[in-house]
């Protein structure tokens, strides 16, 4: 069964699947190719007749090596192109005005796609009577290279192109989503990892103001933004990898994508990514991002946006799967890793970090050196930034809610725990995906938790409050108690979670 919608650009024909209308591969901006490479997104093209919207558009170019299963679940897929600025819509019907949920995918700003099977919006749309949108945006060097200060060019180079793409997609939602049965005045933007970091950045981006009323951040906050100096240093190294110290835009646009991907990979290896640093990420550019997002949030830029932010208990365990040194880590090895990670902060701070995690209480009491490293990295990159965003937003007059996801798969619980990204199928209701079933087991407990999380996310999108009758009372985040809802087999409230560790990170980040 087909479904038709007429947009400002032209007519679209999607399809009906089990009570949900699906429109795939909708262009929300012009293809960023030729003279538009390394340029801000321009308006979408128009077309005559009816355009088929049954197939996903190509993913952004990405060079990260991945296994077949990982690529199927989170990667961009084999169909990749610079012509990647497409979005997808799932809606129960084209009549009415439903809450809209816009998903920004993760992938360290260098991989991923809105068409990944884990992000199918069908179950959320069907369960909550909402409109779900997923999107692609430019990645890596094509999306997050800050060329403003390093290129000799007659034109003014832009930065944060991937972020500009996300804003263009949200503007498309504002202008078109009513024709798909959505309410443009009730938009929730949500994302995971780099997607959540994008959401945190959008909260501090003046041009994004008014494009969404609510924000859900899963395992990401507003810390992953480079300074202008850091962004320029990364761009300079990237250009050096291309063999050219200075380059004009015309020559840069003429290079094949494969050469750009080669330089991108080399730059990532040289300037981070192993310890959680992300060379290609948003950066302060004096234009789209005039100041660090947290500063803008502290100043009240997004105080009218309701925020739901959280992380997973064992985030960093996902990134230890290939860490052979972790298996034989002892106290001396841990000390050296802490000193290397905190190298710019002084040896005394590294020793304080060692003592803080050695003396941690609660469920972290008596952890092995390897597990203390996991706790340290989970706090540094995910837990503390989430708490900091909630606190900053609340202090500016905004309303925040916080959570900690705490569910580990039955078969690999000790190995991966409640690791990074494991909550995604719970949010989208894709636990029974054939590629996930062997890992997650799709137990009754897991399905029950998935239903609770979906209802909380849907309720938040609908009203700005994530409460649900099957969950404990979920209070607004307040500094005096820092109450967080733990989402697991047993959902319960916790006060001042990881408090001693949080105090340590206040001195560092």
Residues marked active site are found at 193, 315, 420
3-state secondary structure of 76: coil
Helix residue ranges per DSSP H, 242-346: 249-254, 257-270, 293-298, 331-341
Triad 3, 90, 110: Cα angle to 5°: 130
- Please state, in angstroms and as integers, the Cα–Cα distance from residue 324 to each residue in 115, 128, 320, 418, following that order: 33, 44, 8, 20
Within 13 A of 177's CA, how many CA atoms are on the CB side? 32
Question: What element of type H or E holds 145?
Answer: none
Residue 491: helix, strand or coil by DSSP?
coil
Structure tokens at 69: 């299963």
Using alpha carbons only, how large is the chain's radius of gyration in Å?
A: 22
DSSP 379: I
Separation between Cα atoms, residue 213 and residue 461, nearest integer Å: 9
Q: What is the 3-state secondary structure (H, E, C) of 65-111?
A: CCCHHHHHHHCCCCCECCCCCEEEEEECCCCCCEEEEEEECCCCCCC
- Cβ 256 vs Cβ 309: under 8 Å: no
Exposure class string for 359-377: b at 16+ Cβ within 10 A, else e:
ebeeebeeeebbbbbbbbb
| Residue with token string 């897929």 | 77
Q: How far apart are CA 215 and CA 198, in angstroms?
A: 11
From CA 291, how far away is CA 283, in angstroms rounded? 9
CA dist 194 → 22, 198, 365 (Å): 25, 6, 31
20-27 and 11-17: which strand pairing?
Answer: antiparallel
**Between 499-506 and 384-395, two packed helices, what is the crossing angle to 10 degrees?**
80
352: closest CA among 86, 360, 277? 360
If phi > 0 it is left, if psi is from -120 to 50 it is alpha, else beta; for residue 175 that is alpha
Written as six digits, the tokens of 133 are 């949108």
């Amino acid at each position: 069964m087909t479904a038709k919608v007429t947009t400002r650009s032209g007519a679209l024909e999607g399809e009906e699947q089990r009570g949900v209308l699906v429109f795939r591969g909708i262009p929300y901006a012009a293809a960023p190719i030729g003279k538009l490479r390394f340029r801000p997104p321009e308006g979408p093209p128009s077309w005559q007749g009816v355009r088929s919207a049954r197939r996903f558009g190509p993913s952004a170019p990405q060079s990260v090596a991945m296994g077949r299963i990982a690529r199927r679940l989170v990667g961009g897929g084999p169909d990749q192109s610079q012509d990647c600025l497409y979005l997808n819509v799932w809606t129960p019907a084209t009549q009415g005005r439903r809450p809209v949920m816009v998903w920004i995918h993760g992938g360290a700003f260098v991989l991923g796609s809105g068409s990944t099977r884990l992000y199918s919006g069908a179950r959320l749309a069907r369960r909550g009577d909402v409109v779900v949108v997923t999107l692609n945006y430019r990645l890596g060097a094509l999306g997050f290279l800050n060329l403003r200060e390093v290129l000799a060019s007659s034109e003014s180079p832009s930065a944060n192109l991937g972020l500009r793409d996300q804003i263009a997609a949200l503007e498309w939602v504002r202008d078109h989503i009513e024709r798909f049965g959505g309410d443009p005045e009730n938009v929730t933007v949500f994302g995971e990892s780099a997607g959540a970091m994008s959401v945190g950045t959008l909260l501090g981006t003046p041009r994004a103001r008014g494009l969404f009323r609510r924000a859900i951040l899963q395992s990401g906050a507003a810390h992953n933004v480079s300074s202008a100096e850091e962004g320029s240093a990364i761009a300079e190294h990237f250009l050096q990898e291309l063999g050219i110290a200075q380059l004009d835009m015309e020559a840069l646009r003429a290079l094949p994508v494969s050469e750009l991907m080669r330089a991108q990979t080399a730059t990532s290896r040289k300037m981070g990514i192993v310890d959680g640093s992300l060379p290609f990420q948003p950066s302060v550019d004096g234009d789209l991002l005039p100041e660090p997002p947290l500063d803008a949030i502290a100043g009240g830029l997004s105080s009218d946006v309701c925020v739901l932010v959280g992380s997973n208990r064992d985030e960093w365990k996902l990134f230890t799967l290939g860490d052979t040194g972790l298996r034989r880590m002892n106290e001396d090895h841990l000390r050296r890793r802490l000193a290397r990670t905190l190298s710019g902060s002084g040896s005394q701070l590294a020793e304080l970090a060692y003592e803080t995690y050695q003396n941690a209480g609660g469920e972290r009491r008596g952890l092995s050196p390897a597990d203390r490293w996991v706790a340290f990295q989970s706090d540094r990159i995910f837990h503390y930034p989430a708490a900091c965003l909630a606190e900053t937003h609340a202090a500016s007059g905004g309303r925040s809610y916080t959570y900690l996801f705490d569910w580990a798969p039955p078969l690999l619980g000790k190995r991966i725990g409640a690791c990074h990204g494991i909550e995604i199928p719970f949010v989208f209701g894709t636990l029974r995906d054939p590629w996930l079933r062997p890992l997650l087991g799709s137990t009754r407990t897991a399905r029950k938790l998935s239903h609770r999380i979906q209802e909380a996310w849907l309720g938040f999108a609908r009203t700005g409050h994530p409460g649900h009758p099957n969950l404990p009372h979920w209070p607004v985040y307040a500094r005096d108690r820092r109450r967080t809802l733990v989402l697991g087999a047993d959902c319960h409230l916790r006060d001042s979670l990881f408090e001693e560790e949080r105090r340590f990170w206040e001195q560092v980040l």
